[in-house]
Amino acid sequence: MLTAKQQELLLFIQRRLDEGGVSPSFDEMKDALDLKSKSGIHRLISALEERGFIRRLPNRARALEVLKLPDGLERQRKVVALPKSAPVAPPATLPIAANDVIEIPLHGRIAAGVPIEALEGQAMLSVPAALLGAGDHYALEVSGDSMIEAGILDGDYALIQRTDVAREGQIVVALIDDSEATLKYYRRNGAQVRLDPANAAYEPQIYDPRQVRIQGKLAGLLRRYN
C-alpha cells in the first residue's frame, strides 16, 4: 500500500507523461507536492521504484516510466483511442535534463587512511540526480590518500547509499567500535573483517566482526577542481 504522498507523486508523474510524454523535473514534483526539499522527492521516487510502480530509464536524469498504478486507480484510467485516420506521430526522444539535482545530508569528513571520528552535520550537498540510484543517500568529505588507487582523492565527496550489509570487495563506510568511521574495501578474513586500502603505503585493518558496523556503500563521487 502506498502512502498518500507516494500515490500523489505517482499520479502526477503519470499525468505529465500522458500530457506530453516527458516526466516532470524534481523541481516540478517538489512544487506539485508542496515539499520544501527535493530530497523528499528523491525518497518518494526511491520508494516507488522499490515497490515496482516506476523505473528510471538508464543514462537519463529526467526519464521515469510508470510501470503500474494501484489497483483501484488502474481501473479508473481512461483509454482514449485515436481515429483511424489520425496520423500517429513518432515517439519523441526524451530530453536529458542535466540540471536536475537533489540535496542529500553532508556528514562531515571521513578518513580514507587511518580512521577518524565520524562527524554528524546538518549541512546539505546538492548532487546531480543521475549519480544516485534507488535508496537513501548521504555524502562524506574524504580526508586522506589511502584510496587513491581506486580514484578516491583527498577532498572528494563520497556519495554513500545507506545499507548495513556489504558484499566482498565493495567500498564501504565502516564504523569501528561505534566511534570512528573509515572508507575501505570490505573483505572477510576467515572469521574476521578486513578493511583494505587502495594504496600500497597502507596496511589492511583487521577487526573482530563485532567491532565493525557497515554504514553504507560507495555509490559515486563528486570532485571540485577549484
Instruction: Say if residue 88's pLDDT is above 50.
Output: no
Active-site residue identified among 5, 146, 179, 217: 146
All cell numbers assigned to 187: 573483505
Region 159-170 average pLDDT: 91
For the chain, give the percent of residues with pLDDT over 90. 25
Q: Which CATH number fits domain 103-222: 2.10.109.10, 3.40.30.10, 3.20.20.190, 3.40.630.30?
A: 2.10.109.10
Per-residue confidence (pLDDT) for residue 173, from 0 to 100: 93
Contact 220, 156 (CB under 8 A): no
SS3 label, residue 90: coil
| CA pair distance 56, 73, nearest whole angstrom | 21
Which tens digit of pLDDT belongs to each residue from 32-50?
888 887 788 888 888 888 8
Residues with Cβ < 8 Å from 86, sequence gap 6 or more?
Answer: none
Work out the mean pLDDT of the chain and round it to a whole number: 79
- Residue 89: what pLDDT? 47
Is 146 an annotated catalytic residue? yes
The single residue of 30, 38, 184, 217 carrying the catalytic annotation is 184
What is the rounded distance in angstroms from the CA atom of residue 211 to the CA atom of residue 136?
A: 24
Q: Is the pLDDT of residue 167 over 70?
A: yes
pLDDT at 74: 55
The predicted pLDDT at position 179 comes to: 82
38 flagged as catalytic: no
The residues spanned by each domain of the chain are: 4-76, 103-222
Q: Kindly give the pairing relationship between strand 157-161 and strand 212-222.
A: antiparallel
Topology of domain 4-76 in CATH is Arc Repressor Mutant, subunit A (1.10.10)
pLDDT exceeds cutoff 90 at 116: no
Tallying the residues shown for the chain, one arrives at 226
Q: What is the pLDDT of residues 172-207, one digit of tens each?
A: 999 998 888 899 999 998 999 999 999 999 999 999
The confidence score (pLDDT) of residue 169 equals 93
Asked if pLDDT for residue 85 goes beyond 50, the answer is no
Q: Which of 189, 194, 204, 215 is nearest to 146 (CA)?
A: 204
Q: Is the pLDDT of residue 151 over 80?
A: yes
pLDDT band at 14 (very low <50, low <70, confident <90, very high): confident
Lowest-pLDDT choice from 55-69, 83-97, 106-120, 135-149: 83-97
Closest CA to 158 of 144, 168, 178: 144
Q: What is the mean pLDDT of residues 74-92?
A: 44
pLDDT-derived band at 114, boundaries 50, 70, 90 = low
